[in-house]
């Protein structure tokens, strides 16, 4: 059985920032994350998207280079490599979050966490006992009554 002052469920920006701060305050900290550290923005949203946008922008600049007196031959792009680059960027940043957790002595538990009792969290067959639980599991979109989410607008 593992005992901690605080257990944090969720390794996105809210969860890892809370973990670092709790550790800085001298608390023993466990963090449970079922996916990659860093959350949606870092792993699947903002960062990979910005990487792909950067590739598209660079491609467009090369196409427009002749306007500035620069001649280039045929310009092609490899979407698979662009996507791979975006995944590498996300993976590198996620590893950076893991290093921050290690530096701040935050114990990482990989898997889906569930609160099974007062001061008790279960992750992948392990029981974590704690005085405090922080739930930082992110959010999902939700319809607002008659305003439906159509995935387009």
- What DSSP string describes the chain? -EEEEEEEE--SHHHHHHHHHHHHTT--EEEEESS-TTHHHHHTSHHHHHHHHHHHHHHHHHHTGGGGT---------HHHHHHHHHHHHHHHHHHHHHHHHHTTEEEEES-EEEEETTEEEETTEEEEEEEEEE--------BTTB---S--
Total number of domains constituting the chain:
1
pLDDT at 139: 82
pLDDT at 153: 61
Instruction: Establish if 72 belongs to a structural domain.
Output: yes
Instruction: Establish if 84 belongs to a structural domain.
Output: yes
pTM: 0.83
Q: What is the mean pLDDT of each run of 10 residues along the chain (153 residues)?
A: 95 98 99 96 94 96 94 94 96 97 98 97 97 93 75 68
pLDDT at 1: 65
Instruction: Establish if 54 belongs to a structural domain.
Output: yes
Instruction: Establish if 19 belongs to a structural domain.
Output: no
Instruction: Establish if 64 belongs to a structural domain.
Output: yes
Instruction: Establish if 61 belongs to a structural domain.
Output: yes
pLDDT at 147: 76
Segments forming the whole domain that contains residue 69: 40-107
pLDDT at 152: 73
Instruction: Establish if 45 belongs to a structural domain.
Output: yes
């Amino acid at each position: 059985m593992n005992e901690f002052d605080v257990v944090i469920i969720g390794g996105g920006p809210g969860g890892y920032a809370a973990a670092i701060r709790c550790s800085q305050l001298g608390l023993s900290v466990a963090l449970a994350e079922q996916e990659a550290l860093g959350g949606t923005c870092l792993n699947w949203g903002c960062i990979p998207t910005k990487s792909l946008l950067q590739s598209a922008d660079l491609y467009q600049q090369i196409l427009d280079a002749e306007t500035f007196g620069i001649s280039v031959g045929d310009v092609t792009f490899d979407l698979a490599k662009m996507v791979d680059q975006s995944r590498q960027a996300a993976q590198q940043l996620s590893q950076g979050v893991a290093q921050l957790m290690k530096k701040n002595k935050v114990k990482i538990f990989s898997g889906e966490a569930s609160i099974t009792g007062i001061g008790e969290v279960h992750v992948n067959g392990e029981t974590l006992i704690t005085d405090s639980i922080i739930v930082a599991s992110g959010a999902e979109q939700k319809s607002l009554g008659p305003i439906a989410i159509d995935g387009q607008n």
